[in-house]
Amino acid sequence: MEFTQSDLLKSLPKQFFASLVQKVGAYTEKGADVINLGQGNPDQPTPQHIVEKLKQAGENPANHKYSPFRGLSSLKEAAAAFYKREYGVNLDPEEEIAILFGGKAGLVEIPQCLLNPGDTILVPDPGYPDYLSGVELAKAKMVTMPLREENDFLPNYAEISAEDLDQAKLMFLNYPNNPTGAVAHQEFFDQTIELARRYEICVVHDFAYGAIGFDGKRPQSFLQSEGAKDVGIEIYTLSKTYNMAGWRVGFAAGNKSVIAAINLLQDHMYVSLFGAVQEAAAEALLGPQECVAELNDLYESRRNVLIHGLKNIGWHVTAPKGSFFAWLKVPEQFTSVEFADFLLEKAHIAVAPGVGFGEHGEGFVRVGLLSSEERLQEAVSRIESLEIF
């Protein structure tokens, strides 16, 4: 007997990265040496002091029981201390922080927390594909905000119609940006807060790559701008900052009413994270931070190797200012999908076609800085051998 999936499941967007994995897998199964630059999975191990804390906490019988529904107070206090130390932002641990089962979970949950069917949400294009999952689960109406190179991949709010602004209840932003590698400055966030106040829009800033900024410039937190907590929240994940992607732990910080809504939804879905993971996460936030600086330096060095190499072979590319991605223009004779398929077939290099991140991603491919410098240099050599630049 086979049971039919619900209409809700059938309505969900196709998982873009799943098809990319299948394409790469088809080549690796044939024995091809594929340099996979298409995904965003950190390649370095979690720092040892965090792993040791997990081991220690895992032996504590208290952590073998259910944790408090809304997370350990010690982790929420650590998150508040982290924001005070790193960004000078004051947060109430109990009312302005919600523990998340990874940043993705929070991003998908928030539309369900705040929107009714038919409500309008503003989403960047190109953007993180899983924003669309939350939109569909909430049965919301999506209005895209184009991110264009000439505007430093920031949305131009003047392009959004007055009708869409009047109807919008939620807005997603993400800087440092996936997939473009762009960063935002305080003036932009101040402008965003003014707009959100005027139209009563809740801003959700996805700060997943908050620790990764280049050329001596530190990425700006949305919450550093005056009034940010009045109009929205920021989502922070430990996945990128501390190489804890598989641990599935993050938090939302900011507006009390939004935090309360997230907590209420999660009360019905989960019974909190394993206590040992929460203790290790607190150790990450409060413990030695040299590992964060070292990781940032590693990504910047890889960026420099890749961008310098590509420029040397004649590919006119722009260096990302943050995140661990580079956003590269494809040759004019290709679409983004055609170029990604061409690189995979002819050079066994996997990249993510820009159109997978939205209509305005066409003309670009996303490349991850998640392979060694040697592999990045090898990728440059393989591309050079194609003689298309």
State the Cα–Cα distance between residues 258 and 205, nearest whole angstrom: 13
What pLDDT, on a 0 to 100 scale, did the predictor assign at position 275?
Answer: 94
Q: What is the pTM of this model?
A: 0.95
The DSSP 8-state label assigned to residue 45 in this structure reads: P
Q: What is the pLDDT of residue 248?
A: 96
Cα–Cα distance for residue pair 76/282, rounded to 1 Å: 8
**What pLDDT does residue 27 have?**
86
Last residue of one domain, picked from the residues 261, 286, 311: 286
From 266, 286, 306, give the residue that closes a domain.
286
In a domain, residue 1? The reply is no
Residues 359 and 256 in one domain: no
Whether 116 and 259 share a structural domain: yes
Domain for residue 2, yes or no? no
Which among 138, 96, 135 is positioned nearest to 260, based on CA atoms?
Answer: 96
- The beta strand positions in 37-128, using DSSP E, are 97-100, 120-125
| Among 286, 310, 329, residue at a domain's last position | 286
Neighbour-count burial of 268, counting CB atoms closer than 10 A to its CB (0-12 exposed, 13-18 middle, 19+ buried): exposed
Q: Is the same domain home to 63 and 103?
A: yes
Three-class secondary structure of residue 233 per DSSP: strand
- Which residues, in sequence order, are CB contacts of 98 under 8 Å at separation 6+? 70, 71, 106, 251, 252, 259, 262, 263, 266
Q: What is the pLDDT along the chain (389 residues), one digit of tens a residue?
A: 999 999 989 998 887 777 788 888 888 888 889 999 998 889 999 999 999 999 999 999 999 999 999 999 999 999 999 999 999 999 999 999 999 999 999 999 999 999 999 999 999 999 999 999 999 999 999 999 999 999 999 999 999 999 999 999 999 999 999 999 999 999 999 999 999 999 999 999 999 999 999 999 999 999 999 999 999 999 999 999 999 999 999 999 999 999 999 999 999 999 889 999 999 999 999 999 999 999 999 999 999 999 999 999 999 999 999 999 999 999 999 999 999 999 999 999 999 999 999 999 999 999 999 999 999 999 999 999 998 98
The CATH number for 124's domain is 3.40.640.10
**Crossing angle for the helix pair 256-269 and 103-114, nearest 10 degrees?**
100
**Which two structure tokens, joined as six digits, stand for 312?**
């040397």
Number of H helices, E strands in the chain: 15, 12
Is the CB of residue 370 less than 8 Å from the CB of residue 324?
yes
How far is it, in rounded angstroms, from Cα 314 to Cα 92?
Answer: 52
Is the same domain home to 27 and 152? no
What is the reported pLDDT for 337?
A: 94
Q: Indicate whether 85 and 134 sit together in one domain.
A: yes
Show the tokens assigned to 257: 């009413």
Whether 256 and 362 share a structural domain: no
Amino acid at site 342:
F
Q: What pLDDT does 30 receive?
A: 87
Burial of 309 (0-12, 13-18, 19+ CB in 10 A): buried
User: Is residue 32 within 8 Å of residue 347, measured between CB atoms?
Assistant: no
Per the structure, the complete domain to which residue 358 belongs is given by 7-45+291-385
**CATH number for the domain that contains residue 304:** 3.90.1150.10
Note the pLDDT of residue 331: 95
Domain count, the chain: 2
Query: Has residue 224 been placed in a domain?
Result: yes
* Burial status of residue 253 (CB atoms within 10 A of its CB: 0-12, 13-18, 19 or more): buried
In a domain, 249, yes or no: yes
Give the C-alpha distances (Å, rounded to integers) separating 25 from 20, 32, 70, 184. 9, 10, 39, 36
Q: Note whether residue 210 is domain-resident.
A: yes
The pLDDT of residue 314 is: 94
